[in-house]
Amino acid sequence: MPATHYRRVEKRRSARVTLSVPLRVDGQDLSGESFVVETHTHTVSQHGCLLLLDREVLLDQSLVLMNEHTRQSIPARAVSTRRHKDGNRYVGVEFLSRRTDFWRIAFSKPGAKSLKRY
């Protein structure tokens, strides 16, 4: 029986990369109390990241991320939140600035084939 092959249409603006970058996140929790948390990314993209966060935040909430390697800060907003099976809370954030060099890496275009090792 032949297998059906299909390619899902990429809807993202840029590729995602699994990369752990140490961050400092400034924001407010659900009770309105300000917090500063040291954490790290799970994945990064040209327009934001998915990060581990031990505080609950609301969708569309403003945050400030600081890359601990470069000491650069960038305003962002929470676009998704979810609790993983392991109990950790992950927050997807989108940069509010159009600056695209926050991670200091070059991203491939969406839908580009990944490089293969031979």
* DSSP per-residue letters across the chain: -PPP---PPP--SS-EEE---EEEEEEE-TTS-EEEEEEEEEEEETTEEEEE-SS---TT-EEEEEETTT--EEEEEEEEEEE-TTS-EEEEEEESS----SS--PPPPTTPPPP---
- Position 74 scores a pLDDT of 96
What's the CATH fold of domain 16-95?
Thrombin, subunit H (2.40.10)
List, for residues 30-46, the tens digit of each pLDDT value: 888 999 999 999 999 99
List, for residues 104-113, the tens digit of each pLDDT value: 888 776 666 6
- Position 86 scores a pLDDT of 84
Average pLDDT, the chain: 85
Give 89's pLDDT tier (boundaries 50, 70, 90): very high
- Position 3 scores a pLDDT of 53
